[in-house]
Structure 1
Amino acid sequence: MAPFTFSPIFFVVLALFYAAISVESMAVPAIFAFGDSLADVGNNNYLNVPISDKSNFPHNGIDFPGQVPTGRFSNGFNTIDFIAMNLGFKKSPPPYLSIKNVGEMLGGVSFASAGSGILQTTGNGTLDMATQVNYFEKTKHDLSTKFGETIVDVHLTKSLFYFVTANNDIFASYSATGAANTTENAQFIKNLVDEFLGHLTKLHKLGARKFAITGTGRLGCVPYLRSRNPMGGCIEALNQLSEQFNAVAEPRIKQLSCQLAGFKYSYFKSTIAMAIITAVPDKYGFKELTSACCGGGKFNGEAQCTPNATYCSNRNQHMFWDWFHPTQSLYFLTAQFQLFGAMNLVAPINLKQLVVQS
């Protein structure tokens, strides 16, 4: 008697069935992450980029399970990790460049790349936003080929598209031109927002409907820039440029949501969140607001966190892990604000409200 065999269609249906079971209790079936080092979970491990755009070495990951330096710019998890776990996932979506089979992409993918920006001129050798969006387009094609276009289209409308970007574009512009002038700054910000909205529009055309967008923060206050200021304070001209981006981007995204059918979004106001934390740091468990935990020189901000660098033992009390990036504690708090914050922090709705909308 010949052995009983199943058709390929059976296995596709079975795979979808188990996928449906695994995500039934989740708020969203998948998370697709885009952006820079604040969301990178390992893509840059596979790229030929400067060491400053990599973090797959100690002391990074010292508080990650197994003390593994995964490529996250953190002593442990980052914001997208905490958001994913809160939404019912065991872990955050895998880095796109690590994926070996299509099935791994069903629960989402991270396209984020440290050093990258919205503009293709930002972060040479990294995955700029256009490349990340193109990779998503290929991801959709691969998923549709395996599971069927109709099923994948429905899947994507329920999925979360998470963004944290523009930080490096603003850094690069400031580094190149300094404070520039009002007219040049306004034109730069307009061009940057135009480009960003173009990427969001393309993703909407590809099926995205739920967008979580992190506004740029107080970039001039990172330890690296404090270390370059003779007075040790923030570089306020850079903070103002970041504020200008948010002031233009948020209403433009609101306008876009009125133009594109089904477009829903949550915009996280990073600068306001930081102001709240720094006003009462003890409330949130922070003792050190200016110096990095790991690095070297003034504010531990003159050198990168490398295996030879010194690092602190009270990491939970530091806002900054290295010369540019938050500690796991601040990433966690950022995730909480995005998930549950009121309208002064996330507008027009928070992430928890966004994911349950149909």
Structure 2
Amino acid sequence: MKFHVSLFVIISIILGIKLEGCRCKVVQFIFGDSLSDVGNNKYLSKSLAQASLPWYGIDLGNGLPNGRFSNGRTVADIIGDSMGLPRPPAFLDPSLTEDVILENGVNYASGGGGILNETGSYFIQRFSLYKQIELFQGTQELIRSRIGKDEAEKIFQEARYVVALGSNDFINNYLMPVYSDSWNYNDETFVDYLMGTLREQLKQLHGLGARQLMVFGLGPMGCIPLQRVLSTSGECQDRTNKLAIRFNKGGSKLIDELEKQLPNSSFRFGDAYDVVNDVISNPNKYGFQNSDSPCCSFGNIRPALTCIPASKLCKDRSKYVFWDEYHPSDRANELIAKELIKKFGFITVHQTNPPSPSPTLAPSSNH
């Protein structure tokens, strides 16, 4: 009898360890463009959308380029940190293994990528959302072969998902006459085309287990420095901003519909357009001094599409809304993230885990 009890205890311990080994924490899977890229394009050697040059990453970790198109963190970084979630590494990171995926999730975001496959083709290499979903399917196969189908299904259903694309579909597709979409659609029908495509992509993600998913809306993309400098007046481009508003209305409606249709889904749409527009219109109110030009610029030669080693940095990086011609600064991303956290009502997932390290921001250093 004692033997059977001992055997039962030993088996329970073994099973307990096995279950504990498979019972992974909640992780994130991030799908996006350069606003969320943490290094995928760094490994796409032919891609023209690169953040692998100094001064990118100057205010994060060791201050070296890390693949983020900013001086510091992305909005997804900051939201994940606030929830106690680990920061997922880039899918193309050479150190990515099954264990790393189980511990941290994966980020598939790619600079220049869009909801549509044709978007950003002149960047040569980038992952569209369909491609990112395809890579996610490959990730799932790896994890299933590692821990079994049932345990893998549980992990993928408990994970958090971020989908944050759309601006490239306008700026690096529809609004450029070199793309056929610019003459095949008008403003209304193009947004309908985007929404129809996004609907299928989100349904596909749900079919792959995505239950808790957030879609980020677009900010006033007509006010990014690149759009201003390309306008004759230097003002925000009204048509581009109206397209962002139209996208956000369509996206919000789409998410409401999908949440009703798809079983066990908790889909949310995060629209921070108004607060970002207010920051750009009234920068001093939020502690910024500049909201119309990039902190990292190549003197009077504009637009220099990326921050380059020969670029000059602004005196105080915490006072600029934009880091380069396209992308917000770390401090602006923090403000956007806080607005989305408030709107989403996020709660901490891992109460015992401290957030990932914040950047070592040195805003007053002069270069």
TM-score (ref. length: structure 2):
0.83
- Equivalent position to 1:57, from 53, 64, 67: 53
Partner of 1:17: 20
Partner of 1:214: 216
Retained in 1: the 8 A contact 2:220–2:277? no
- CA–CA distance in 1 between the matches of 2:341 and 2:43? 31
Superposed CA deviations along residues 104-151 of structure 1, whole A, max 9, x for unmatched, are: 111310000000001110123211111100111111111111112111
Superposed CA deviations along residues 75-126 of structure 1, whole A, max 9, x for unmatched, are: 011112112221213x510000115421111131000000000111012321
- Is 1:45 paired with 2:42? yes
Partner of 1:325: 327
Q: Tell me the SS of whatever aligns to 2:291.
A: strand
Q: Tell me the SS of whatever aligns to 1:320.
A: coil
AA partner of residue 143 (structure 1): I
- CA–CA distance in 1 between the matches of 2:105 and 2:335? 23
AA partner of residue 129 (structure 1): L
Q: CA deviation at 1:266?
A: 2.1
Change (3 A) 1:65 1:100: closer
Change (3 A) 1:44 1:183: closer
Retained in 1: the 8 A contact 2:22–2:147? no
AA partner of residue 168 (structure 2): N
AA partner of residue 174 (structure 1): L
Change (3 A) 1:79 1:238: same
- CA–CA distance in 1 between the matches of 2:290 and 2:70? 16
Q: CA deviation at 1:298?
A: 5.3
Partner of 2:337: 335
AA partner of residue 259 (structure 2): S
Change (3 A) 1:144 1:231: same
AA partner of residue 334 (structure 1): I
Q: How does 1:195-210 map to 2 (within 5 A)?
A: 195-210=197-212
Q: Tell me the SS of whatever aligns to 1:39.
A: coil
Q: CA deviation at 1:302?
A: 4.0
- CA–CA distance in 2 between the matches of 1:355 and 1:215? 26
Q: Pairwise CA RMSD of aligned residues? A: 2.7
| Percentage of pairs with the same residue | 28
Retained in 1: the 8 A contact 2:119–2:169? yes
- Equivalent position to 1:81, from 58, 77, 87: 77
Retained in 2: the 8 A contact 1:43–1:95? yes
AA partner of residue 71 (structure 1): G
The aligned length equals 332
Q: CA deviation at 1:152?
A: 1.7
Q: CA deviation at 1:19?
A: 6.7
Q: CA deviation at 1:339?
A: 1.3
- CA–CA distance in 1 between the matches of 2:288 and 2:314? 14
Q: CA deviation at 1:13?
A: 7.1
- Equivalent position to 1:255, from 233, 257, 260: 257
AA partner of residue 223 (structure 1): P
Change (3 A) 1:47 1:13: farther
Q: How does 1:114-193 map to 2 (within 5 A)?
A: 114-124=111-121, 125-171=125-171, 172-176=173-177, 184-193=186-195
Which of these two proteins has the greater Rg computed from alpha carbons? 2
- CA–CA distance in 1 between the matches of 2:266 and 2:114? 23
Change (3 A) 1:37 1:16: farther
Change (3 A) 1:151 1:240: same
- CA–CA distance in 1 between the matches of 2:304 and 2:153? 47
Retained in 2: the 8 A contact 1:62–1:68? yes
Change (3 A) 1:185 1:85: same
Q: Tell me the SS of whatever aligns to 1:162.
A: strand
Q: Which runs of 4+ in 1 moved over 6 A?
A: 10-13, 177-183, 353-356
Partner of 1:5: none
Q: Tell me the SS of whatever aligns to 2:203.
A: helix
Stretches of structure 2 lacking an aligned partner (at least 5 in a row): 1-12, 352-367
AA partner of residue 135 (structure 1): L
